[in-house]
């Protein structure tokens, strides 16, 4: 019975695959050139970008000197298409399993959106067959996984695209002196930030102690006021007794009592004056300590921001210019640092989507390439329509390093972009069913990652049979 059930299930599956195979799939599968993996005949350095061609069902990996690896892929089927656009690797998982697709094995997974689009090893029937991910040959995915780092650019093009050498005076030109000084500056500012943080903590503790002292002082004043009032009342009564005394003996006794009460009242008066002055001094000290604590906290924030910016200056800078929002955005690593309005000539005219990448240092600055993946201007004309504010250039250009990039697009930042991604730009004139079916990740939590880069992963946390260190998404 079990064997018959298995045979029937397999047969049904085969029929279903035949019915759902895209038109022209047999022709694509029969194309032997499409199924060939290739490795460049030279020593390769660390990958800088991956370009996936949906049209050719192929991925090509590039280092600073050109392509290094190439393989067939299988992207999303109709209705669940792999979105075309600009992404980067945000997480790596050597042995990932899907909680949406029946524990499907997705080995050597390199996530490019938190909602579940990724590159990973998988079966390649010779045509688009996934639910939005980019399947690669198993061995190829394993080889690539060991070479890439978090943050590697992933460009998904609707047609064939490749980086071409590009130069333009508008692209960032680093300053050699600034680059040389950047590490020491980052270390110095980190020390200043640490000292400022320590000083702020000490000032806060001092302010807390002073506030407690100031809060306790009024009680002592109130007690002495009560004692002084009572002593004054006793003195008044003693004076009445003295006035009423008839004999010398009564007068002497009343006078003696009056003097004792007067001395006590005078002593309480002195103590009250001292306590009142002390309370005022403590209030003044508490106010001064609070002011000092606020100043120290402001110094902490200022030095922390400076230290953060100095540390980020060691990272590649990414700039995104959107014709849709008419804004320029800057990120270092995945940290947003600048967002300003920008001038684009002919703002109603399409500009296309272009990715300019600094591939390596040169004697004069940086060597750049350009990749165009959407209709509009060519790369040079697109750059000519942009005016980057000089103050922005002054902040980012001096310390620009290889892997820095400039993206120009008609599109706005995509909903998948958040505080733990690089820029995500999706072409809205292309089908993106594989992205539309997924909800952006929420309830974000962090975990370590042993595969290089920033070492963080963000997603929903799930229990279940896959162990305590795996994190899964509700739509993947």
For every residue of 141-163, DSSP letters joined together read: HHHHHTT--TT-EEEEESS----
335 burial level (CB within 10 Å; 0-12, 13-18, 19+):
middle
Measured CA to CA, the distance from residue 373 to residue 155 in angstroms comes to 8
Tokens of 122: 């998988």
Question: Residue-wise pLDDT tens for the chain (476 aa)?
Answer: 334 333 333 333 333 333 344 444 433 443 444 558 999 999 999 999 999 999 999 999 999 999 999 999 999 999 999 999 999 999 999 988 776 665 578 899 999 999 889 999 999 999 999 999 999 999 999 999 999 999 999 999 999 999 999 999 999 999 999 999 999 999 999 999 999 999 999 999 999 999 999 999 899 999 999 998 999 999 899 889 989 988 989 889 989 998 999 999 999 899 999 999 999 999 999 999 999 999 999 999 999 999 998 999 999 999 999 999 999 999 998 889 999 999 999 999 999 999 999 999 999 899 999 999 998 899 999 999 999 999 999 999 999 999 999 999 999 999 999 988 999 999 999 998 988 877 765 544 333 333 333 333 333 333 322 222 333 333 34
- SS3 call for 272: helix
- Contact between 174 and 397 under an 8 Å Cβ cutoff? The reply is yes
- What pLDDT was estimated at residue 410? 97
Tell me the three state secondary structure of residue 370.
strand
Contact by Cβ (8 Å): 343, 330: no
Please, are residues 68 and 39 in contact by the beta-carbon 8 Å criterion? yes
Q: Is 24 helix (H, G, I), strand (E, B) or coil?
A: coil
Burial of 67 (0-12, 13-18, 19+ CB in 10 A): middle
Return the DSSP state at 33. G
Residue 100, pLDDT score: 60
CA distance 256 to 252: 6
- Give the span between the Cα atoms of 115 and 101, in whole angstroms: 14
Residue tagged 């959106």 (tokens): 113
User: Per residue, what are the HEC states of 268-279?
Assistant: HHHHHHHHHHHH
First to last CA, the chain: 34
The C-alpha atoms of residue 354 and residue 241 are separated, in whole angstroms, by 104
What are 121's strand-pairing partners? Answer: 136
Site of tokens 């702020």: 200
Record the pTM: 0.74
**319 and 339 Cβ atoms separated by less than 8 Å:** no
**3-class DSSP assignment, residue 387:** strand
């Amino acid at each position: 019975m079990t064997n018959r059930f298995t045979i029937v299930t397999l047969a049904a599956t085969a029929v279903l695959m035949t019915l759902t195979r895209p038109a022209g799939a047999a022709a694509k599968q029969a194309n032997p050139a499409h199924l060939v993996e290739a490795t460049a005949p030279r020593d390769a350095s660390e990958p800088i970008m991956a370009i996936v061609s949906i049209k050719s069902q192929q991925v090509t990996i590039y280092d600073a000197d050109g392509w290094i690896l190439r393989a067939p892929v299988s992207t999303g089927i109709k209705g669940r298409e792999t979105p075309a656009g600009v992404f980067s690797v945000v997480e790596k998982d050597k042995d990932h399993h899907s909680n949406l697709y029946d524990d499907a094995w997705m080995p050597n997974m390199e996530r490019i959106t938190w909602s579940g689009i990724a590159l990973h090893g998988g079966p390649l029937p010779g045509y688009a067959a996934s639910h939005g991910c980019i399947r690669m040959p198993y061995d190829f995915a394993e080889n690539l996984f060991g070479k890439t780092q978090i943050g590697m650019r992933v460009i998904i093009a609707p047609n064939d695209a490749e980086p071409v050498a590009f130069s333009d005076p508008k692209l960032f030109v680093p300053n050699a002196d600034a680059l040389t000084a950047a590490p020491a500056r980052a270390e110095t500012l980190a020390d200043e930030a640490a000292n400022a943080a320590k000083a702020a903590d000490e000032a806060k503790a001092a302010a807390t102690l002073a506030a407690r002292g100031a809060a306790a002082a009024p009680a002592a004043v109130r007690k002495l006021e009560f004692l002084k009032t009572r002593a004054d009342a006793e003195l008044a009564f003693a004076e009445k007794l003295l006035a009423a005394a008839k004999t010398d003996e009564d007068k002497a006794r009343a006078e003696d009592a009056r003097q004792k009460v007067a001395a006590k009242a005078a002593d309480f008066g002195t103590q009250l004056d001292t306590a009142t002055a002390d309370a005022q001094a403590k209030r003044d000290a508490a106010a001064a300590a609070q002011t000092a604590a606020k100043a120290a906290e402001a110094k902490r924030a200022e030095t922390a921001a400076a230290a953060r910016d100095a540390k980020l200056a060691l990272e590649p800078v990414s700039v995104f210019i959107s014709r849709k929002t008419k804004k320029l955005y800057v990120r270092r690593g995945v940290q947003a640092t600048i967002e300003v309005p920008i001038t684009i000539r002919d703002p109603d005219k399409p500009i296309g989507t272009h990715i300019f990448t600094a591939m390596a240092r040169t004697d004069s600055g940086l060597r750049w390439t350009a990749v165009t993946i959407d209709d509009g201007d060519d790369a040079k004309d697109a750059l000519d329509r942009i005016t980057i504010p000089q103050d922005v250039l002054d902040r980012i250009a001096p310390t620009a390093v290889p892997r820095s990039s400039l993206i120009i697009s008609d599109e706005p930042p995509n909903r998948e972009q958040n505080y733990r991604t690089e820029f995500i730009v999706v072409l809205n004139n292309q089908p993106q069913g594989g992205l539309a079916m997924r909800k952006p990740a929420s309830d974000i939590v962090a975990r370590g990652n042993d595969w290089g880069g920033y070492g963080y992963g963000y997603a929903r946390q799930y229990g279940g049979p896959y162990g305590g260190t795996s994190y899964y998404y509700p739509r993947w």
